[in-house]
Amino acid sequence: MKEITTYLIGFILYLYNTFPIFMRLLKFCLFFMIISILEAQEQKTFKIHTIAFYNLENLFDTINDPNKFDESSPIMELKANRSEVYKKKVKNMARVLGDIGKEIPNNSPAIIGISEIENREVIEDVISDSVLREKNYGIVHYPSPDLRGIDVALLYQKQLFTPISTSSHELKIYDHITRKRIYTRDQLLVSGNLEGDLIHIIVNHWPSRSGGEAKSKYNRLAAAKLCKHLVDSLQVIDPYAKVFIMGDLNDDPTNASIKKGLGTQKDKDKVDFKGIYNPYENFFRDGLGTTAYRDAWSLFDQIMVTKPLLEKDYTSFQFYKAGIYNKEYLITSKGTYKGYPFRSWSDGGFSGGFSDHFPVYVYVIKEVNN
């Protein structure tokens, strides 16, 4: 391309000197043509992938597990048509997972963290749906001791991401009055190569606000402490570790568990060398959310990144931008909860909806040779 451009510029200069009157009439056109050619040479091409998180809102199967307290799950409380409801719920989840952030990369997410799933079998049913089957998703999942019987997991397109190591990390918290153990979700850590780039993902579903935000906040501070410990451990091994922290945190970006526990920043240029950037804090300050309760929005679902994902060197994957996936079909269109996420379960039955949370996602980009 460079040789062609050099020849073309030389030919234009020859014509300019040989036919001065004629060429001067065209000089402005030629000038802008040359500029356009040179600018085209400077244009860069980027590869882009989506990394997402979605709370699947009580994705349980129809089988009573004697080792789990799944009898109280919404689907087990149905009096009839459990199989039909389960199939519809699975298909709805597959549809959303296939759509998240698809507009720019024209592909389903390379990596998806999920929560509120009962077991590996329900995940396999989701990724076997016709919408996702060709994407060939792999699964990383560990059973956790959560009282409700729900876990977190990671999905990844096998042709794009290769796990190197996986581990589950138990969160031990206790009732501050009775001192009895509160059984909750483990935190999942997955390290692997995204098309040759080493990245780390921590999937979270922090303890709920049951009993009130103030009473339960210490449980989420403990969850933040565990999560920060995992990040610190990765940074001891590699100070330039590229870490994604994702999940339903049951706290907003401005709560103490996130601002102090994780030490996040809302401005990229203020993130320290080993700091954490949270793009969802600005969304929250602008009034956006991922779940709603009593006409108030919360932004519990978030994805955060460490400093090495904010660099200007695009020879490896870097953070591009974040988003909330709140397409029209995911929003309740009428009734008392108009405008809320179109949830699966309401009024003691299956609504035909999706989840009481919107998914969140980030794009990562990497320069490629033309």
pLDDT, tens digit, for every residue of 259-298? 999 999 999 999 999 999 999 999 999 999 999 999 899 9
What's the average model confidence in pLDDT over 151-156? 98
Shared domain for 327 and 201, answered yes or no, is yes
Q: Given a cut of 80, is residue 366 above it in pLDDT?
A: yes
pTM of the entire predicted model: 0.88
* 280 shares its domain with 360: yes
| Same domain, yes or no: 63 and 134 | yes
Q: pLDDT at position 188, please?
A: 98
- Whether residue 20 is predicted with pLDDT greater than 70 in this model: the reply is no
Q: For position 36, what pLDDT does the model report?
A: 56
Read off the CATH number of the domain in which 259 is found.
3.60.10.10
Q: Are residues 82 and 180 in the same domain?
A: yes
User: Residue 10's domain spans which residues?
Assistant: 2-42
Percent of the chain with pLDDT over 90: 78
- Mean per-residue pLDDT for 162-185? 95
The answer for residues whose C-beta is within 8 angstroms of residue 96's C-beta and 6 or more apart is 54, 325, 330, 354, 355, 359
Mean pLDDT within 73-97: 94
pLDDT at res. 27: 54
Is the pLDDT confidence value at 107 over 80? yes
Clarify whether residues 121 and 184 are in a common domain: yes
pLDDT digits (tens, 9 = 90+) for 115-129: 999 999 999 999 999
Looking at the fold, whether 38 and 116 belong to one and the same domain comes out as: no
Q: Could you tell me if 233 and 199 lie in one domain? A: yes
CA–CA distance, 357 with 247 (Å, rounded to integer): 11
Q: What integer pLDDT is reported at residue 29 of this predicted model?
A: 56
What does residue 17 show for φ and ψ, rounded to 5 degrees? -80, -30
- Asked if the model's pLDDT at residue 41 lies above 60, the reply is no
Query: Which one-letter amino acid corresponds to residue 320?
Result: Y
Mark whether 52 and 38 lie in a shared domain: no
Query: Confidence class of residue 170 from pLDDT cuts 50, 70 and 90?
Result: very high
321 touches 361 (CB < 8 A): no
Structural domain total, the chain: 2
| pLDDT at residue 225 tops 70 | yes
Residue 189 has pLDDT above 70, yes or no: yes
Whether residue 240 contacts residue 226, with contact meaning beta carbons closer than 8 Å, is answered with: no
- Mark whether 344 and 355 lie in a shared domain: yes
- The answer to whether 279 and 310 have CB atoms below 8 angstroms apart is no
Same domain, 151 and 191: yes
Whether the pLDDT of residue 108 is over 80: the answer is yes
Q: Please tell me the predicted confidence (pLDDT) of residue 38.
A: 46
- Higher-confidence position of 227 and 39: 227
Q: Over range 26-32, report the average pLDDT.
A: 53
pLDDT tens-place string over residues 50-76: 999 999 999 999 998 877 767 668 998
The mean of the pLDDT values for the chain is 90
Tokens of 287: 């009034």
Do 51 and 33 share a domain, yes or no?
no
Do residue 22 and residue 85 come from a single domain? no
